[in-house]
Structure 1
Amino acid sequence: MNKYYPIMLDIKEKKCVVIGGGNIAYRKVISLLEAGANVTVISKEINEDIRLLLKDQVVECIEEKYDFKYINDCYLVYAATDDKEVNELVYSQCSEKNILVNVVDKPEICNFIVPSKLQRGDLTIAISTNGKSPMLSRKIRQDLEKVYDNRYELFLDITGEVRKEAFKVLINGKKRSEFYNKIIYSNYIDRLACEDKQKIYIEIMNILHEYGNE
């Protein structure tokens, strides 16, 4: 089994193709759309969910059998058909052209795999078992969901805004690190379970300016 290099890809407005028209293909389409990709579906048959996306002009659909000409200029490909030969052909042709390709449920013929992930706003926690046990990845994600709830999304929103100001107020890098350490290892996350986000934001900003005045 390959060792994978974890990476976050920016696929905004990049052409991505999903080959297949069933439920798995639909889920891949949604994940790509959420990341801002331009998505094309290639399948002679598409399910109602994909057809609704086509109707809303969210995706492009080519209702034909697979042909390499449809993916020659694309950035990333998912092969999600129930035809083993087609999936293997997609992998082979994409590999020759250095196109990112994932054959669903076949990590041995992929040049990338997608980890299970926990999403809380801009916080992303990825879990991978190197393709050995997707079920274990799911369990770990479910365990993490109990710990990293929506408080972390709120706190990240706050610290993201504070960080912009910190670069203006605290020129000294060591001073900034001391400030970040103070707020990150505080009890603000716990307090967000019952206190107003704006109140916490103002309190942290006041601390920032106190550091700036020292």
Structure 2
Amino acid sequence: MFPIMLENMDESNIFLVGGGHVAYHKVLNLHRFGIHPTIISPEFHPSFEKLEQQGTVTLITKEAEWEDVENAFLTLLVTDDEAVNDRLAKLLKEAGKLVVHASNPTLGTAQIPAVMTRGKLIVSVSTSGASPSLAKKIRTEIAETYDERYEDYLDFLADVRHYVKLYVADRAERRTWLKEAIEPIYLHNTEERQTFLNELQQIFPSEQLIQ
């Protein structure tokens, strides 16, 4: 199994097959990352109506067929009909598509891990389908360690890295500044962050843009 992070998924062709309670929660997870999927099912959980009114999903009321998903970038199969899930998974896999089979991951080509986010920080945990419950437990433990403070802290680190890349020419000096920025004091103290940035900008003025 090869872990990978995918960007610009909001612009991709994402399909979800299934309209029940499990499918609804899968959609909410997709929404966390700006993904507005097309959902195919002969029936839908009542909660889907509100999502459709909000314009965050496209609902197609029918039994899913190969022709519906053949051009999808990623398809999630979460119906309660295992025959449908298995058949579509087989076809999508043979076509080289990304497909998640929720109840039998080995039949798919991709899995969605348990995810913890803190702003720019994204940590995913997978047990390769062995125990989703354990993956969620580990995710919770990680979330307790990397709490809400990391959201602003990652913004600070991003600002430092951006400035250093633009205005610090010497690579050794770059590494020194970037290493200093991850010291615990800057996680805990916002005033120290500002002092750090002020010193960086004073030593390497923005007028000295690296050519």
TM-score, length of structure 1 as denominator length: 0.89
Unaligned 5+ segments in structure 2 are 206-211
Could you report, residue by residue, the CA deviation over 1:2-54 in whole angstroms, capped at 9, with x for unpaired residues?
A: xx111001212111111000121112222223333341100011112211111
How far off is 1:57 after superposition? 2.1
Name 2:170's counterpart in structure 1. 172
Correspondent of 1:19 among 17, 25, 29: 17
Secondary structure, in 3 states, of the residue corresponding to 2:162? Answer: helix
Give the distance between the partners of 1:55 and 1:152, measured in 2 at CA.
34
Does the C-alpha gap of structure 1 residues 114 and 61 become closer, same or farther in structure 2, counting only changes over 3 Å? same
Give secondary structure in 2 for the equivalent of 1:125. strand
The letter of the residue matching 2:114 is S
Range that drifts further, 115-124 or 22-31:
22-31
CA-based RMSD: 1.6
Give the structure 2 partner of residue 77 of structure 1. Answer: 75
Find the counterpart in structure 1 of residue 194 from structure 2. 202
> What are the residue-to-residue correspondences of 1:56-135 with 2, within 5 Å?
56-135=54-133
Alpha-carbon distance in 1 for matches of 2:90, 2:81: 14
Q: 1:6 aligns with which of 3, 8, 31?
A: 3
TM-superposed deviation, 1:212: 3.2
User: Residue type matched to 1:95 in 2?
Assistant: K
- Residue 51 in 1 paired to residue 49 in 2? yes
Between the two proteins, the alignment pairs up a number of residues equal to 204
Question: What SS is found at the alignment partner of 1:179?
Answer: helix
Tell me how far apart the structure 2 counterparts of residues 44 and 14 of structure 1 sit (CA, whole Å).
24
Which residue of 2 is the match for residue 141 of structure 1?
139
**TM-score when normalising by structure 2:** 0.90
Tell whether the 8 Å contact from 2:186 to 2:193 is kept in structure 1 after alignment: no
Question: Alignment partner of 1:187: what SS?
Answer: helix
CA-to-partner distance for each residue in 1:61-88, whole Å, 9 max, x for gaps?
1100111111111100000001110000
Letter in 2 for 1:96: E
Residues 185/163 of structure 1: CA separation in 2 closer, same or farther (3 Å cut)? same
- What is the CA–CA distance in structure 1 between the aligned matches of 2:170 and 2:46, rounded to whole Å? 57
> Which sections of structure 1, spanning at least 5 residues, go unmatched?
192-196
Q: Counterpart of 1:81 in 2: which secondary structure?
A: coil
1:185 aligned residue: 183
Secondary structure at 1:12 match in 2: helix
C-alpha contact (below 8 Å) 1:169/1:212 kept by paired residues: yes
The answer to whether the 8 A contact 2:185-2:192 is kept is no
CA shift, 1:209, in A, is 3.0
